[in-house]
Amino acid sequence: MATSRWRLLLALLSVTLFASGTTLAAPSDKPPFYRVQWQGKSAYLLGSIHIGRADFYPMPAQVEAAFTKSKGLVVEIDMNKVDSRALLQKYGGANSAQGLDWQSRDKQTVATMSQYCEGKASLCQSIQAFAPWLQAAQFNLLRYNGLGFSTDYGVDMQLLSRGGKPVYELETAESQFQLLASFDSQIQWAMVREAIDASDAELLSLVDAWRSGNETVLDTLMQEQLGGDGNTLMLDKILWQRNKVMAEGMIKLMGSETASEPLFVVVGAGHVVGDKSVVQLLKQQGATVTACWQTRCD
C-alpha cells in the first residue's frame, strides 16, 4: 500500500497545523493507551490522531476515566497559544532560491498538479505563495474534510477545549514549523504529489488502524513509508529525534514538584509504537509502562 508521507504526518504524528469506510462506535475504540509509573509518580499516555469526527467522542470509558482523574494535560503544543500567522510568515513562504516556488516544480509535480487543479483553479491560485509542505497540508486537510473529518475533532484539540486543567507542552510550535520547512524541495514537492494522489481507502485505513489500536499496522506504516526507500532522514527527523524530546519531557514533568499527578499525556500515535518509540524510551529510563487494553489501568 503506497501511503503518503504527509498523510502520516497529519494523521498519526504530532505536526499540527490546521464519511465513509469502516467505523466503530467510540466506546469500542482501543487507541494506543498506557499507564506510566516512574519513581512513585504516574501518568497516562494516549496515542492520538489529529483529525476526527463527532462520533469519536466520548472516548472509551477507561480513557475518559483516566482523563477525568488526571491533574494536568500534557500535549505536544498548545494550539491555543500559537501565533500561526507569524510562524507561517517565517516558515511557510515559497522561497524561489530553495526551489520551493511554482516555477521550480519538476515535471512530475506539474503534471500531477495540472490535472488536480483543472476543477480547483481558485484554490490552486490561492496557495501558490505557500511552501510545498504547506500546500500539501492544505490538500490533505481538504481531502479529510471531504470524508467528514476535521482537525476540530482531533483528540488533542478536543481535550484542550475541555479546560479545567493546567496544560504542559512537550515541544514548541516553532520547532514543528521549522522542521517541516527544513526538508529540501524534492521531498516537499513529493509531499504535494502524494497528497493529491492518495486514494480515499488509504486515507481511511490510517483512521481505522488507530481506532482499532492495531499497533503493528501503525508501526509498519511508520517504518515502511517514512523510511521505505532506504532513506531514514524523515524517520530520524520526524519520529526518532522527537520521540527523545517527548520522553525526556515526560520524565521531567513527572519529576517536577509543580506538576501534580497523575498527568494525562497526548502524543501522536506514531510516536508510541515501534522499538524507538516514546514507550520504549520511557522503559529505558526506568519507567514501568503498562498497556491498558491488556491490563486495565483504572
pTM metric for this prediction: 0.89
pLDDT at 27: 61
Q: Is the pLDDT of residue 2 over 60?
A: no
Answer with the residue of higher pLDDT: 20 or 143.
Answer: 143
Residue 108 CB-density burial (10 A; 0-12 exposed, 13-18 middle, 19+ buried): exposed
pLDDT digits (tens, 9 = 90+) for 168-178: 999 998 998 99
- The pLDDT of residue 4 is 44
Q: How many Å apart are CA 246 and CA 265, to the nearest integer?
A: 10
Q: Are 150 and 51 in contact (CB under 8 A)?
A: yes
User: Looking at the predicted structure, is the pLDDT value of residue 125 above 60?
Assistant: yes
Band the pLDDT of 18: cuts 50, 70, 90.
Answer: very low
pLDDT tens readout for residues 73-117: 999 999 888 888 899 899 999 999 999 999 999 999 999 999 999
Residue 153 grid coordinates: 475533532
**What is the C-alpha separation between 149 and 72, in angstroms, rounded?**
27
- State percent of the chain over pLDDT 90: 58
Q: Give the pLDDT confidence score for residue 85 in this predicted structure.
A: 86
| pLDDT value at 57 more than 80 | yes
Please tell me which residue, 19 or 56, carries the higher pLDDT value. Answer: 56
What percentage of the chain exceeds 70 in pLDDT? 88
225-234 residue pLDDT tens? 665 555 677 7
pLDDT reported for residue 12:
52
Average of pLDDT values for 34-44? 96
224-228, 266-270, 280-284, range with the lowest pLDDT: 224-228
- Here the cell at position 113 is 498538479
Express each pLDDT in 177-187 by its tens digit: 999 899 999 98
Answer whether 148's CB lies under 8 Å from 19's CB. yes
- Report the 3 state secondary structure along the chain: CCCCHHHHHHHHCCCCCCCCCCCCCHHHCCCCEEEEEECCEEEEEEEECCCECHHHCCCCHHHHHHHHHCCEEEECCCHHHCCHHHHHHHHCECCHHHCCCHHHCCHHHHHHHHHHHCCCHHHHHHCCCECHHHHHHHHHHHHHHHCCCEHHHCHHHHHHHHCCCCEEECCCHHHHHHHHHCCCHHHHHHHHHHHHHCCHHHHHHHHHHHHHCCHHHHHHHHHHHHCCCCCCHHHHHHHHHHHHHHHHHHHHHHHCCCCCCCEEEEEEHHHCCCCCCHHHHHHHCCCEEEECCCCCCC
